[in-house]
Amino acid sequence: MADFWGTVFNFENYGELVVLVQNSIYAGALLGIVGGLIGVFVMQRDLQFAVHGISELSFAGASAALLLGVNVVLGSTLGSLLAALLIGVLGVRARERNSIVAVLMPFGLGLGILFLALYEGRTANKFGLLTGQVVSVDNEQLGLLVTISIVVILGLGIMWRPLSFASVDADVARARGLPVTAISVAFMILLGLAVAVSIQIVGALLVLALLVTPAAAAMRVTASPFLTPLLSVLFAVAAMVGGILLALGGGLPISPFVTTISFAIYLVCRVIGRRHSIRSRSRRVSPALESRIPA
């Protein structure tokens, strides 16, 4: 038992380790911002399943890059952009989108497994693409991750208002002359980029913990247009940085720590959200009831 906990949590030489992975911690925090922000729109646009689909093709792209010996971030970006555009263009309606994702997902995963099987390098690299890695991110890749993350954050900042409008009511936005289709394609590109950077650290199988769970948790406790993205970012950064710090000592990948923190935050938010909604419901219902009673 002591062995188990020793593997999961190990804080020997912790100070030195933190310095070693300093860059990864910054990258993790940046990824938290990306995931927390884009998650708010993933939830509103009902793209949770699509995120999973994109990540599997991103995984295929990354493993192809690994096999060919080219930049893995580049490979995963190409894979996820391709998937995001396919899903965005072919799956305009929710039902169509779900079938397209369901068709693409196993194909991507299968391709990825094929490429990994052919790859003869370190097994840690292989496994890392699926379940996350952190130390193996070298400086060149880190630079690319940071650049892509900044592109996503800036892109979201520029489209925030029309994207919110189009997400809550595409018909009205279209009637007002907004380029709803172009906005949707642009969003899918940003989503593809966000997935591509996320799988480098949390792994293809676990991106939802970064791109969906924090936003879903925030939406349980608030519906404010400012607090929702703020809390979502806060939750995602806490999960990412917390996960990296906890994983440091042991020999385990960071993803179980990230997903567990993320999940715990969600649980807490559900409990708070339930209390909150009961209170607000009773507040909003009672005057309506009173008004129905004839004076």
By CB under 8 A, residue 98 contacts another protein? no
By CB under 8 A, residue 123 contacts another protein? no
By CB under 8 A, residue 236 contacts another protein? no
Output the six-digit token pair for 207: 């991106």
Q: 131 to 150, contacts with another protein by CB under 8 A? A: none
Burial degree of 56 (CB within 10 A; 0-12, 13-18, 19+): buried
Output the six-digit token pair for 37: 């922000």
Q: According to CB under 8 A, which one of 165, 189, 252, 263 is a site residue for another protein? A: 165
By CB under 8 A, residue 97 contacts another protein? no
Looking at the Cβ atoms of 141 and 222, the one nearer to another protein is 222
Q: According to CB under 8 A, which one of 154, 175, 271, 278 is a site residue for another protein? A: 175
Looking at the Cβ atoms of 41 and 257, the one nearer to another protein is 41
Site mask, another protein, residues 274-293, x = CB under 8 A? ------xx--x---x-----
Q: 29 to 88, contacts with another protein by CB under 8 A? A: 40, 43-44
By CB under 8 A, residue 160 contacts another protein? yes
Q: Select the span of 87-95, 119-127, 151-159, 189-197 touching another protein (CB under 8 A).
A: 151-159
What are the start-end ranges of the H helices in the chain?
2-8, 14-20, 22-44, 48-68, 72-90, 94-118, 123-131, 139-168, 170-175, 180-202, 208-211, 213-221, 227-249, 255-292
Angle separating helix axes 22-44 and 213-221, nearest 10 degrees:
60
Q: According to CB under 8 A, which one of 106, 169, 267, 278 is a site residue for another protein? A: 169
Angle separating helix axes 139-168 and 180-202, nearest 10 degrees:
140
Output the six-digit token pair for 183: 């906005």
- The minimum distance between CB 26 and another protein, in angstroms, equals 24
Count the residues in the chain.
295
CA angle 118, 124, 126 (to 5 degrees): 35
Looking at the Cβ atoms of 176 and 275, the one nearer to another protein is 176
Dihedral angle over CA of 252, 256, 262, 265, nearest 10: -90
Q: According to CB under 8 A, which one of 176, 274, 275, 279 is a site residue for another protein? A: 176
Query: Interface with another protein by CB under 8 A: which residues?
Result: 40, 43-44, 157-162, 164-165, 168-169, 171-178, 216, 219-220, 222-225, 227-229, 280-281, 284, 288
